[in-house]
Chain A
Amino acid sequence: NAGVTQTPKFRVLKTGQSMTLLCAQDMNHEYMYWYRQDPGMGLRLIHYSVGEGTTAKGEVPDGYNVSRLKKQNFLLGLESAAPSQTSVYFCASSKPQGAGGTEAFFGQGTRLTVV
């Protein structure tokens, strides 16, 4: 039972380069999220999705785009990477509250360094 899988686990980018982070979940969850984790700041929500084909902005969306073409996948894109986007990125998924659960299941994270 894989849960939430993130690809890649590590990446180094040069300023201005683009990349896509992939998140896949096998729990049939409706909701998916992308967070970034910076020292002393906890986890901050970048974008989220409440279902296939829908996305919404979170707390810190600037510089990122997302897509959810399939229920099980949630992609996070950086069009032109900046050093300020150096961080650890976490994907998570959950069921709607009405469905009896709100626990968010997290992936192992992607450590991104922009030089």
Chain B
Amino acid sequence: GENVEQHPSTLSVQEGDSAVIKCTYSDSASNYFPWYKQELGKGPQLIIDIRSNVGEKKDQRIAVTLNKTAKHFSLHITETQPEDSAVYFCAASSGAAGNKLTFGGGTRVLVKP
């Protein structure tokens, strides 16, 4: 089955700096790669996703890049703000049998004012 590795597990940045989280996946059939943000006491919420036919996608201060050959994808957050502090999860899915998502272990991001 699919295996998703996520690094780093914790990330501390100064407000205004950039944050980068990296994930690798194992199943070449995976074609959908979402990123979820989880705030304390809440369920994960989608912040951006990318499909395998696209190399990069941006939405305001966040961007995701995908390298299918190397089987890795990354989340970039620019101009970080205190409200960006949360746990971020990457995931991968092949879309087969139920669109099952396989998640990485998560990255706890702390933005220091």
Contacts and interface: CB of A to CB of B under 8 A. Distances in A.
For the residues of B in contact with A, the DSSP-based class is loop
Interface in A100-115: 102-109
Interface of B: 1, 4, 6, 9, 32, 34, 36, 41-46, 49, 89, 93, 95, 97-106
A102 B32 contact: yes
Given A56-B98, A104-B34, 6 more contacts: A33-B100, A42-B89, A43-B103, A45-B100, A59-B102, A97-B32
B43 A94 contact: no
B98 A48 contact: yes
B98 A106 contact: no
9 contacts: A42-B6, A42-B103, A42-B104, A45-B102, A90-B44, A94-B99, A102-B34, A102-B99, A104-B101
For the residues of A in contact with B, the DSSP-based class is strand
A103 B34 contact: yes
Interface size class of A (residues with CB under 8 A): 20 to 34
B89 to A, nearest CB: 6
A109 B95 CA distance: 24
Nearest to A96: B99
Contacts of A56: 97-98
B89 A43 contact: yes
Nearest to A51: B98
Interface of A: 4, 31, 33, 35, 40-45, 48-50, 56, 58-59, 90, 92, 94, 96-97, 102-109
Most buried by A among B36, B44, B49: B44
A90 B43 contact: yes
Given A103-B49, A106-B45, A108-B43, A50 B1 contact: no
Nearest to B106: A42
A102 B106 contact: no
Contacts of B32: 97, 102
Contacts of A96: 99
Contacts of A108: 41-43
